[in-house]
Amino acid sequence: MADESKKWVLMVTAQTPTNIAVIKYWGKRDETLILPINDSISVTLDPEHLCTTTTVAVSPSFESDRMWLNGKEISLSGGRYQNCLREIRSRASDVHDEGKGVHIEKKDWEKLHLHIASYNNFPTAAGLASSAAGFACLVFALAKLMNVKEDQGKLSAIARQGSGSACRSLFGGFVKWIMGKGDNGSDSLAVQLVDEKHWDELVIIIAVVSSRQKETSSTSGMRESVETSLLLKHRAKEIVPKRIIQMEEAIKNHDFSSFANLTCADSNQFHAVCLDTSPPIFYMNNTSHRIISCVEKWNHSEETPQVAYTFDAGPNAVLIARNRKVASLLLQRMLFYFPPTPETDLNNFILGDKSILQDAGIKEMKDIDALSSPPEIKDNANVPKYRGEVSYFICTRPGRGPVELADASQALLNPETGLPK
Amino acid sequence: MADESKKWVLMVTAQTPTNIAVIKYWGKRDETLILPINDSISVTLDPEHLCTTTTVAVSPSFESDRMWLNGKEISLSGGRYQNCLREIRSRASDVHDEGKGVHIEKKDWEKLHLHIASYNNFPTAAGLASSAAGFACLVFALAKLMNVKEDQGKLSAIARQGSGSACRSLFGGFVKWIMGKGDNGSDSLAVQLVDEKHWDELVIIIAVVSSRQKETSSTSGMRESVETSLLLKHRAKEIVPKRIIQMEEAIKNHDFSSFANLTCADSNQFHAVCLDTSPPIFYMNNTSHRIISCVEKWNHSEETPQVAYTFDAGPNAVLIARNRKVASLLLQRMLFYFPPTPETDLNNFILGDKSILQDAGIKEMKDIDALSSPPEIKDNANVPKYRGEVSYFICTRPGRGPVELADASQALLNPETGLPK
């Protein structure tokens, strides 16, 4: 090891995307190892709009493992963090940084402590899979720091032990989490189906829905579903395996109709299973239902699907548009039905890729009020609007997997002290 | 036949209850004969609070079959009415009314026309199974008028062809609709499990929920579920048969815990199947979800179920309380969470058996405002209320089957003209 009297700090900063499942993961066969009861498929969201940035640091001066999330220190004592740290440490290799004169040997990692700082560029509590991006980023950054030689698939199996869906955030594009067969979880890992360039016409709009309800956590929700839903077993065993094959085919062939039908049906079936749980779990609310109705009506009128919707363990809608043109028409519809409250700043109402707003012909708030009702609405006289039911929209697209950020200015920890900047 | 020059009118008035399924009917295997894909079980509601009254009349002076529903003439040309009329006519017998000097022979019924007037003592559009009571009453009254000698079970198979769930309204108490095996539907009929006296502690409170949505009709909804839901087949084939046996056992043994668990689980599973339909069907709304959460929280805190809930093809909750004491506690909770809007008259807010209101200690509107939050709520500081989300409540109980009303003053048709009074 390097001279402990020298107060060096070695660090790595990485950025990892979040992902949204289009064939859902719901139900574990092993609670500790986080092994699922079915395969799932997700699309990785562009980290430019939704991502976690994590800096991990090691120094002989650190007295314990510590972590800060969005600037606030949090406990690392939870089993999920401990599992990830243990698994990564056990795979660490020698690290030599000649510039800093740092030499860490494989065996030293067990004794050295870590500082971790993590930051989401989107609201943590908005139900946008922050834990997926978070654990993926933690594992990816630590693997770089500790010179772990395993491939991304193996790393995904470690991230999985932090948060199941985190394993899918180790890759860009479309990703499959293979449930695996073994009891030790080594074959339950993510693989990339296609990268983010394969189907780059797709545009994704997330509607963050206002909600008064406190939601059931997905961890306890899926445990209760496994214990009580008679439909879940049938779904996992008989329905999902067929859908996985169909979805892979649809993605490979850019077959949007099939992709949209499968995505919507699988989201609805996941929520059906939640409802079949005792006591029943409601993640979608009236606003979610209205968004679905709007999309279904439009898709029906066009005869071929224009937009797919999917909802995770909360009321937010993730809408996937066939292409950019459709995305601007979708945004018009969403803004027509769900205009912002009067005090809202348009700039805070549409986040992410704001250029879609221009395509939709919206420059200022009065352009939203001037939107006419969509052509698929027959009874124009009495179209209800639901002002304020959507808090904001995020416009994004399929994106890349994790990257290391070489630029030291992006680190979240002070390179001298190893404490948050 | 009697002398046609004599302008006699012969009529029968009957009253028939509505019913609510506790093991749900959802899905037909034959659309025309209305043959279901699974057995179902219902409780008949007291006709004193919810019923249809129907007067059927025959006269040689009538020129065509005509019907009035709630005072408004409606068409009888629909297949469902035609099927019921045809089936009943084909089973008619000789009728001799010496007092009136009327003699109708079996063969005459094919030529004679009918007038029918029907009236619901509850809002038709409130989603309270008015068609069930309506078709049951039509068939029951016509069978009396035409001296049909078939038993109630056979009559139920005719009512079934008007509206599936109507077959269950031919009996009081708890009723099972046996799906049957045959292709002609003759074995798809209702049987009484126990009469209304068997379990007379039960109290039923219906929350009629305000709704802006136009709902999918149950006819088209169940057709779409049969065509698109992958979960429905599994439910009908694997889950319901076991639940039917368990439910019969629970009813026989007055086992409220088992009854409530099955009732709630089956209602939730029916709505899960609706959500698994493409496009998805939402019958429950935020208010329905809140009612479920309130009941689940209370049941959980009492450790043993106090109240069962069930929802048909709409947002209204049917709540079944273990006994009268529990019903008054339930009403307090409902009124606490869902107080009426200020302009509401208490007398129009609680319908049916108003004595439960007294038990609950509610004499006037200010008693509702004075209700304290239920003891199972831990955080008293921030309990949300949902004023106006429930339009009104109906307090009722399990009730009897159809009866003929001998009192001529209750007839809905004028005994001289055969036209609505």
Q: Considering Cα of B169, then B170, then B176, then B178, what sign does the dihedral take?
A: negative
* Residue range B271-282: mean pLDDT, rounded: 98
Is the pLDDT reported for residue B130 higher than 80?
no
Is the pLDDT reported for residue A2 higher than 60?
no
Would you call A269 and B231 a contact, using CB atoms and an 8 Å cutoff?
yes
Q: Give A161-209 as a DSSP string.
A: TT-GGGGGGGSSSEEEEE--S-SSSTT-EEEEEE-TTTTTT-EEEEEEE
Chain A residue with CA closest to B263: the answer is: A278
The whole-angstrom distance between A240's CA and the closest CA on chain B is 11
Residues B43 and B128 in one domain: yes
In a domain, A418, yes or no: no
Q: What is the pLDDT of residue A127?
A: 67
Test the A interface: residue of B209, B231, B303 with most A CBs within 10 Å = B231
Residue numbers in A near B234 (CB within 8 A) = 231, 234, 238
Pairing of strands B390-396, B350-352: parallel
In a domain, B410, yes or no: no
In a domain, A1, yes or no: no
In a domain, A281, yes or no: yes
Please report, for residues A54, A96, A155, B136, B404, the alpha-carbon distance to residue A140 in angstroms, rounded to integers and kept in the order given: 9, 19, 7, 67, 78
Percent of chain A scoring above 70 in pLDDT? 97
DSSP-derived secondary structure letter, B167: G
Q: What is the pLDDT of residue A211?
A: 74
Is the pLDDT reported for residue A288 higher than 80?
yes
End-of-domain residue from the set B195, B227, B252? B195
Residues B325 and B368 in one domain: yes
Lowest pLDDT segment from A287-296, B142-151, B211-220, B365-374: B211-220
A36 contacts A391 by C-beta, under 8 angstroms: no
CATH number at residue A27: 3.30.230.10
Dig out the tokens for B32 from the structure.
Answer: 């025309």
d(CA A395, CA A354) in angstroms, rounded, equals 7
Does residue B419 sit in helix, strand or coil? coil
Is the pLDDT reported for residue B4 higher than 60?
no
Dig out the tokens for A234 from the structure.
Answer: 């049938």
Residues B233 and B142 in one domain: no
Residues B385 and B278 in one domain: yes
Q: What is the pLDDT of residue A125?
A: 59
Lowest pLDDT segment from A253-262, A290-299, A374-383, B285-294: A374-383
- Rounded to a whole number, what is the distance in angstroms from the first to the last CA of chain B? 27
Residue numbers in B near A291 (CB within 8 A) = none
Q: Tell me the Ramachandran region of residue A377: left when phi exceeds 0, alpha when psi lies from -120 to 50, beta otherwise.
A: beta
Residues B34 and B71 in one domain: yes
Q: What is the pLDDT of residue A216?
A: 85
* Residue A210 banded pLDDT, cuts 50, 70, 90: confident
**pLDDT digits 0-9 by tens, B214-261:** 678 899 999 999 999 999 999 999 999 999 999 999 999 999 999 999
Does residue B361 sit in helix, strand or coil? coil
Dig out the tokens for B171 from the structure.
Answer: 């009996």
Query: Is residue B420 reached through a cis peptide bond, with omega within 30 degrees of 0 on the bond before it?
Result: no
* Residue B1 banded pLDDT, cuts 50, 70, 90: low
Residue numbers in A near B285 (CB within 8 A) = 286, 289
CATH number at residue A243: 3.30.70.890
Does residue B155 sit in helix, strand or coil? helix
The helix or strand, by DSSP H or E, that contains position B132, with its residue range, turns out to be helix B130-145
Residue numbers in B near A309 (CB within 8 A) = none
Residues A179 and A146 in one domain: yes
Is the pLDDT reported for residue B211 higher than 90?
no
Dig out the tokens for A79 from the structure.
Answer: 């089993």
Chain position carrying tokens 């429905």: B232
Helix and strand numbers (H, E) in chain A are 12, 19
Residues B346 and B377 in one domain: yes
DSSP-derived secondary structure letter, B57: E
Q: Which of B359, B407, B351, B416 is nearest to B53 (CA)?
A: B407
Looking at the structure of chain B, the number of domains it has is 2
Residue numbers in B near A278 (CB within 8 A) = 261, 264-265, 268
- Name the average pLDDT for chain A: 94
In a domain, A218, yes or no: yes
B405 contacts B121 by C-beta, under 8 angstroms: no
Would you call B279 and A300 a contact, using CB atoms and an 8 Å cutoff?
yes
Chain position carrying tokens 């609680």: B350
Give the ipTM.
0.93
Would you call A296 and B279 a contact, using CB atoms and an 8 Å cutoff?
yes
d(CA B358, CA B364) in angstroms, rounded, equals 10
Q: Among B231, B261, B293, select the one facing A235 at the smallest CB separation.
A: B231
Q: What is the pLDDT of residue A212?
A: 67
Is the pLDDT reported for residue B362 higher than 60?
yes
Chain position carrying tokens 């947002």: B315
Residue numbers in B near A289 (CB within 8 A) = 282, 285
Q: Among A280, A285, A292, select the one facing B268 at the smallest CB separation.
A: A280
Test the A interface: residue of B230, B273, B376 with most A CBs within 10 Å = B230
Is the pLDDT reported for residue B127 higher than 80?
no
Would you call A272 and B268 a contact, using CB atoms and an 8 Å cutoff?
no
User: Between B81 and A211, where is the model more confident?
Assistant: B81
**pLDDT digits 0-9 by tens, B300-355:** 999 999 999 999 999 999 999 999 999 999 999 999 999 999 999 999 999 999 99
Q: Among B234, B272, B286, select the one facing A285 at the smallest CB separation.
A: B286
B45 contacts B18 by C-beta, under 8 angstroms: yes
DSSP-derived secondary structure letter, B45: B
* Residue A124 banded pLDDT, cuts 50, 70, 90: low
Q: Among A276, A289, A292, select the one facing B269 at the smallest CB separation.
A: A276
Chain position carrying tokens 């509590």: A125
**pLDDT digits 0-9 by tens, A352-387:** 999 999 999 999 999 999 999 999 988 777 888 999
In a domain, A349, yes or no: yes
Residue numbers in B near A273 (CB within 8 A) = 272
In a domain, B412, yes or no: no
Residues A277 and A373 in one domain: yes
Would you call A275 and B280 a contact, using CB atoms and an 8 Å cutoff?
no
d(CA A331, CA A323) in angstroms, rounded, equals 12
Would you call A279 and B269 a contact, using CB atoms and an 8 Å cutoff?
no
Please report, for residues A209, A378, A380, B342, the alpha-carbon distance to residue A374 in angstroms, rounded to integers and kept in the order given: 21, 9, 9, 37
- Give, to the nearest 10 degrees, the angle between helix A130-145 and helix A79-89: 30
DSSP-derived secondary structure letter, A398: B
Dig out the tokens for B228 from the structure.
Answer: 């698109």
* Residue B382 banded pLDDT, cuts 50, 70, 90: confident
Does residue A262 sit in helix, strand or coil? helix
Residues B163 and B303 in one domain: no
Chain B residue with CA closest to A285: the answer is: B286
End-of-domain residue from the set A196, A227, A255? A196
In a domain, B74, yes or no: yes
Q: Among A272, A286, A292, select the one facing B272 at the smallest CB separation.
A: A272
Q: Which domain holds residue A364?
A: 203-396
Residue numbers in B near A275 (CB within 8 A) = 268-269, 271-272, 275
* Residue range A179-185: mean pLDDT, rounded: 96
Residues B383 and B249 in one domain: yes
Interface of A with B (CB under 8 A): 212, 230-231, 234-235, 238-239, 261, 264-265, 268-269, 271-273, 275-280, 282, 285-286, 289, 292-293, 296, 300, 384
d(CA A250, CA A261) in angstroms, rounded, equals 10
- CA-based R_g, chain B, Å: 22
End-of-domain residue from the set A196, A222, A246? A196
Residues B131 and B264 in one domain: no
Dig out the tokens for B311 from the structure.
Answer: 């929802």
A:B CB pairs within 8 Å: 79
Residue numbers in A near B265 (CB within 8 A) = 276, 278
**pLDDT digits 0-9 by tens, B42-73:** 999 999 999 999 999 999 999 999 999 999 99
- Give, to the nearest 10 degrees, the angle between helix B256-275 and helix B286-302: 150
Residues B286 and B165 in one domain: no
